[in-house]
Structure 1
Amino acid sequence: ECRVFNPQWTRDYFFVQLKEKAVCLVCQETVAVFKEYNLRRHYESRHKDKYASRASFRVAQLIASCGKSFTEGEFVKKCLNVVVEEVCPEKKDVFNAVSLLASTITRRVEEIGGNVYAQLQQKTKDFQFFSLALDESTDVQDTAELLIFIRGVNANFEMCEELAALQSLKGTTTGEDIFDKVCQTMQQLGLDWAKLASITTDGAPSMVGASRGLIGRMNREMEERGLTALLQVHCLIHQQALCCKVLKWDSVMKVVVSCINFIRANGLKHRQFQQFLSELESAYGDVLYHTEIRWLSRGKVLRRFYELLPEVNAFLQSKGKTVPELIDPAWKWHLAFLTDVTELLNGLNLQLQGKGKLICDMYSHIKGFEVKLRLVLEQVEKHNFTHLPATQSFSAEKPSVVFPGEKCVEALEMMKAEFGVRFRELHVHAKEIRLFQNPFVADIDEAQPSYQFELAELQNCDVLKDAFKPNSLIDFYAALPNDTYPNIKPDAGPQFTLMNTQYIGASLWNLQRTQELFCCDKKGDPWSRLLHIFL
C-alpha cells in the first residue's frame, strides 16, 4: 500500500518522483518508500523551520530597506493569514510558523545589518583606493550624530559604496572630536591611510578648518605618516544649495509664504480653499508649504503658487484679506522670474542627486548649468524669455509695467559669480576630470609626461575605441591591460571614489525624523544595523 507517488506531495513536502524513488527538491536526498509519513517527517525535520526562518529574514530585510517600523511585521503577518485563509487554507500552519513579531524583526535586522557590515569589512581589505564622506547633524533627541560613508574600488575596479559608521558625538563637536571618530571607524574597518584618496564634507567650520578643523587634523596625520595631503571636496549638492541663497528676494517670498500660511494655518479656511479649487476645476487641489531646509521646496512652492495666483487672490478677497502685491504687475514680474530661475536650480539639484554618481558626470552637469545660466543672462538682457516659461507667459499678457530687467539681470550675474566661486576647485581639476571621463579626446601635449606615451597607445587602439562607452567607465578601465597602462589605469581609481555626502545623508536624516523607528533603542545596535540595510 502507499507505493504510488502522490503529486500533491510535491506541493506539500517539495518531493518529486525520480525513477522509483522520491527526491527532495531542497537537499536532493532520496526516500526509498513512497509513504507520506516518511516524506512529511523529512520535510518537517529538515526544512519546515528553515523556510519559515528564511521568510522571516526576507520580510525583516524588506521592512528595514523601506524604512518601516519594526512593528509592521505583525501587520504583515495578519495580511498573510487573511490571504492564506482565502487562497490555500490547508497551508495555514506553514504560514503561522513564520514569526514576524517586533522583537523578532529587531533581531533579524541586527543579524542582517551585522552581516552587511561584516561583508564591508571583507571588501575593505581589497580596496586599492577609498574616499570618505561625512555629514553631521542633530537627531530628534538633540544628540549630535556623525554619518561616515565610504566608497572604494579594488584592483578589478569593483566599486563599493556603503555606510561605514554612525557615530554619536557626546559633548562638543569640534574638529578633533570628529577626527577621533574617523580614526575609530578606519581602525574598525582595517583601512589603510595610504589608500585614502579624498574626503567630502558639508563645509562646516568644524570640518574644513585648516588648523582646528577635521581637514587640518587629517592633513597633519597624513603628513606625519609621510603621505600626500588629501583631496578635499565640499559636497556639490550643498554648494549648489548655497548658490541658491543668492536669490533671496524676500519681497516675493514673504508675500507667498504669508498667503500660504493664511490659507493653511486654519483648518476651516484650508478646507474651504480646497473646496473652492474643486468647484473651479483647478488643475491643482492645494498650495504647498514652504520648508527652507528642503532643497526643492522653494521651486515647487513658487510654481504651484504662480499657477494658482488668480484663485488664491480671489479666495483671500472673499475672506476680507487684501494683498496688493497679488495684483501688482511689477511684483508679478518678480514672482514669474523667480519661479523660472528656482525651477532651473531644482533641475540641477536633481541631476546631482543619486547613489553611485561619478565626479565626471556631476561636473558635466555643473558646467552645463553654467552655460545655461550664461545663455539665459544674455537673453534676459534682450527681454527674450524663451527658456523662462512663467516669465514668457506673463509677458504675453502685456502687463502695464515693463519688465524689471535691471534687477533680474543683476540677480543672474550674482548667481553666475557665486557658481564660479563655489565650484572653482572643480574647474582647477577640469583637465584631470576630462582625461578620466574620456581619455580618447585628451590632448597628449598637455597631459602629464607619465601619461603621454600611454595616451598615444590608447588613442590609436581601435579595439579599445570600439569598447569604450561613456556610461560604463568602470568596465572600460577594468579591461585596460595593467602592463600597457601602468599609470592611467591605477590613477583612475581615486576618481571613482569621489562622492556626494549630502544626498545620502539627507535620506538617512529624513528616515530618522519621519519614521517611528524608535521602538528599538536608537543608541543601540538595531538602529545602526538598520541604516546599513536601508542604504
Structure 2
Amino acid sequence: MALVQQTKKKCRQYSVEYLKYGFVAAPHNQQQPMCLLCDRVFSNEAMKPSRLLEHLKKMHSDKADKNLAYLQSLRDNGISQQSTDGLRASYNISLLIARSGKPHTIGEELILPAVREVLHTVLHKSPDQIIKAIPLSDNSVQRRIDEMAENIEETLCNMLRTTEFSLQLDESTLPGNESLLLAYVRFVKDESLVQELLFARQLETDTKGESVFRVVDDFFKEKDIPLSNILACATDGAPSMVGRHRGFISFLKKAVPGVLTVHCVIHRQHLVAKNLSGRLHKSMSTVITAINKIKAHALNSRLFRQLCTDNDEEFERLVLHTEVRWLSKGNCLRRFYSLFDTVVEFFQDSNSVLCDELRNMKHDIAYLADIFAKFNEKLEWQRKN
C-alpha cells in the first residue's frame, strides 16, 4: 500500500536580522514582521528577506539607503512616519469605515486616492509623503477595527464587573441558516441610562435554552463578570427563552434567584403588529397585493412612475413590505397612503375590482399607516434612549 506524504506548510520564524529591511516583530504576533515605517504586517508566507527588501525599496525608497543604526534608532525611540499623526489618522479613518459598514478595501481604493487628489489639486502639496504615513490597506483597517473593538469591549466589561445592569437577549437566524445570539446591556453611568451591545455569539448546534445559557455563562466567566450583577433580563416569547423547565430564563433563575424577567417591549409591539383584526388584516393584504402588482412587473413600474410624474407627486415609487423586518410595514403604508389617489387611478382601467376595494378601505389604510408610524417612532425613541 503506497504511503501518501502530506506536504506541510513551512512556518517561518521572525528574525532580528529583518530590522535591516525596516521590519520589527508585530505587537499582536511576535512571529510576524511589521514594517517600522508604515505599520504593515506581513503574513508568514510572505516573510521572505527578498519580499521585505522589495517592500522597503518600493514603498520607502527614501529610507532604502539608510544604515542599520538609523533603523535601530527608529525602533528604540518609537519614531516613524505614521507613529503620530499618520497612525492617528489611520485609526480615525478605520473607525469611519467601520461605522459606514463599507468594505475595508475602500481605504486603498477610494479614500487614499481622494486624499491624494485633494492635496495635489486644492492644497498644491506633494501627497506622496503624507499618503505613505497613513496605512489603510485591507489588513491594516481590519487590524485597527479589531484593536478598537477589543478596547471598547474590555472597557465595558471592566465597568460591568462592579455595576448592576439589565440584560436583553435576542436570537436571530442569518441568511445562511446560522444562529446568532445578541446580548445588550443597560446600566446607569454618570446619572444617565446607557445601552451597549455586549456580545454577538454564534450558536454552533441547537438553540435550546440550555445552549443559550451556556453561551451567556461562558462569556461572563471568561470576562469575570458576576451573574449576580444582572438585575433584570428581557427576551422574546420563544419557548427556548421563557420555558418553565428548559428555557433560558429557568436556568438563569437558578443561577440568579432574584432576577426580574420581562418580555421584550419591541417583541410585544411585534405581536400586536402581527395579530391584526380580520378587517385590518384584509386591508393590509389588499395593500400588499396592489404594491406587488405594480412592483413585480417592469412595465407596470415604469407606467406608474410616469403617472406619478404627471400627477406631480412627491414620490415616484412604492416601497415593498418585508415580512422578516416587520417595521418596514410603517414605511410601506406611509408611502402607499401618500400615493393613494395615484394608485387608485392606476388600477381604474386595468383592475376595477382592486380599485373599488382600495376606495372602500381608504380609512382603514390611513389608520394602519398611523399605527405603524407610531410603532416606528417608539422604536426610534428606544434606540436613542
Which TM class, normalised by the smaller chain length?
0.7 to 0.9
Match of 1:202 in 2: 236
Distance in 1 (CA, whole Å) between partners of 2:130 and 2:302 is 45
- Per-residue CA deviations over 1:398-423 (Å, capped at 9, x if unaligned) read xxxxxxxxxxxxxxxxxxxxxxxxxx
Match of 2:205 in 1: 171
Q: 1:140 pairs with 175, 199, 206, which one?
A: 175
Shift of 1:236: 0.7
- Per-residue CA deviations over 1:361-389 (Å, capped at 9, x if unaligned) read xxxxxxxxxxxxxxxxxxxxxxxxxxxxx
Match of 1:292 in 2: 323
Kindly indicate whether the alpha-carbon contact (under 8 Å) linking 1:263 and 1:270 is maintained by their aligned counterparts in 2: yes
Q: How does 1:447-486 map to 2 (within 5 A)?
A: none
Kindly indicate whether the alpha-carbon contact (under 8 Å) linking 2:233 and 2:260 is maintained by their aligned counterparts in 1: yes
Q: Which amino acid aligns with 1:114?
A: E
Distance in 2 (CA, whole Å) between partners of 1:142 and 1:262 is 30
Matched, 1:86 2:113: no
- Per-residue CA deviations over 1:434-477 (Å, capped at 9, x if unaligned) read xxxxxxxxxxxxxxxxxxxxxxxxxxxxxxxxxxxxxxxxxxxx
Match of 1:111 in 2: 147
Q: Which amino acid aligns with 2:154?
A: A
Task: Note closer, same or farther for the CA distance 1:313–1:55 as it changes in structure 2 (3 Å cut).
Answer: same
Shift of 1:159: 5.3
| Structure 1 runs not aligned, ≥5 long | 1-40, 359-535
**TM-score when normalising by structure 1:** 0.53
Distance in 1 (CA, whole Å) between partners of 2:303 and 2:362 is 25
Kindly indicate whether the alpha-carbon contact (under 8 Å) linking 1:309 and 1:326 is maintained by their aligned counterparts in 2: no
Q: How does 1:493-512 map to 2 (within 5 A)?
A: none
Match of 1:344 in 2: 371
Kindly indicate whether the alpha-carbon contact (under 8 Å) linking 1:240 and 1:349 is maintained by their aligned counterparts in 2: no
Distance in 1 (CA, whole Å) between partners of 2:93 and 2:267 is 35
Match of 2:82 in 1: 49
**TM-score when normalising by structure 2:** 0.72
Shift of 1:66: 2.2
Kindly indicate whether the alpha-carbon contact (under 8 Å) linking 2:179 and 2:203 is maintained by their aligned counterparts in 1: yes
Matched, 1:241 2:270: yes
Kindly indicate whether the alpha-carbon contact (under 8 Å) linking 2:337 and 2:365 is maintained by their aligned counterparts in 1: no
Task: Note closer, same or farther for the CA distance 1:259–1:357 as it changes in structure 2 (3 Å cut).
Answer: closer
Distance in 2 (CA, whole Å) between partners of 1:311 and 1:159 is 46
Shift of 1:231: 0.6
Shift of 1:222: 2.4
Q: Which amino acid aligns with 1:93?
A: D
Matched, 1:222 2:222: no
1:90 is paired with a residue whose SS is coil
Q: How does 1:249-328 map to 2 (within 5 A)?
A: 249-317=280-348, 321-328=350-357
Shift of 1:198: 0.6
Shift of 1:180: 0.0
Shift of 1:86: 0.6
- Per-residue CA deviations over 1:124-147 (Å, capped at 9, x if unaligned) read 2331x1121111111122110101
| Alignment coverage as a number of residue pairs | 306
Kindly indicate whether the alpha-carbon contact (under 8 Å) linking 2:344 and 2:359 is maintained by their aligned counterparts in 1: no
2:361 is paired with a residue whose SS is helix
Matched, 1:73 2:73: no
Distance in 2 (CA, whole Å) between partners of 1:91 and 1:115 is 35
Task: Note closer, same or farther for the CA distance 1:271–1:198 as it changes in structure 2 (3 Å cut).
Answer: same
Q: 2:98 pairs with 37, 47, 64, which one?
A: 64
| Structure 2 runs not aligned, ≥5 long | 1-72
2:320 is paired with a residue whose SS is coil
Distance in 2 (CA, whole Å) between partners of 1:157 and 1:186 is 25
Shift of 1:84: 1.1
Kindly indicate whether the alpha-carbon contact (under 8 Å) linking 2:348 and 2:355 is maintained by their aligned counterparts in 1: no
Kindly indicate whether the alpha-carbon contact (under 8 Å) linking 2:333 and 2:368 is maintained by their aligned counterparts in 1: no
Q: Which amino acid aligns with 1:326?
A: C
Task: Note closer, same or farther for the CA distance 1:134–1:158 as it changes in structure 2 (3 Å cut).
Answer: same
Match of 2:26 in 1: none
Q: Which amino acid aligns with 1:334?
A: M
Shift of 1:113: 0.9
Task: Note closer, same or farther for the CA distance 1:54–1:356 as it changes in structure 2 (3 Å cut).
Answer: same
Task: Note closer, same or farther for the CA distance 1:286–1:335 as it changes in structure 2 (3 Å cut).
Answer: same
Distance in 2 (CA, whole Å) between partners of 1:81 and 1:197 is 52
Distance in 2 (CA, whole Å) between partners of 1:338 and 1:232 is 36
| Between structures 1 and 2, the one with greater helix share | 1
Distance in 2 (CA, whole Å) between partners of 1:316 and 1:58 is 53
Q: Which amino acid aligns with 2:269?
A: Q
Shift of 1:63: 0.9
2:309 is paired with a residue whose SS is helix
Shift of 1:108: 0.9
Distance in 2 (CA, whole Å) between partners of 1:281 and 1:205 is 51
Matched, 1:99 2:141: no
Match of 1:181 in 2: 215
Spell out structure 1 runs of 4+ moving beyond 4 A: 156-160, 354-358
Distance in 1 (CA, whole Å) between partners of 2:369 and 2:289 is 19
Shift of 1:298: 2.5
Match of 1:335 in 2: 362
- Alignment root-mean-square deviation, CA: 2.6
Shift of 1:162: 2.2
Bigger relative contact order, structure 1 or 2, given CA contacts below 8 A and separation 6+?
A: 1
2:234 is paired with a residue whose SS is strand
The percent of aligned pairs where both chains have the same amino acid is: 30
Q: Which amino acid aligns with 1:347?
A: K
Shift of 1:178: 0.2
Q: Which amino acid aligns with 1:270?
A: S
- My pick for the range that moved more, 274-283 or 173-182, is 274-283
Distance in 2 (CA, whole Å) between partners of 1:300 and 1:274 is 18
Kindly indicate whether the alpha-carbon contact (under 8 Å) linking 1:124 and 1:190 is maintained by their aligned counterparts in 2: no
Kindly indicate whether the alpha-carbon contact (under 8 Å) linking 1:145 and 1:166 is maintained by their aligned counterparts in 2: yes
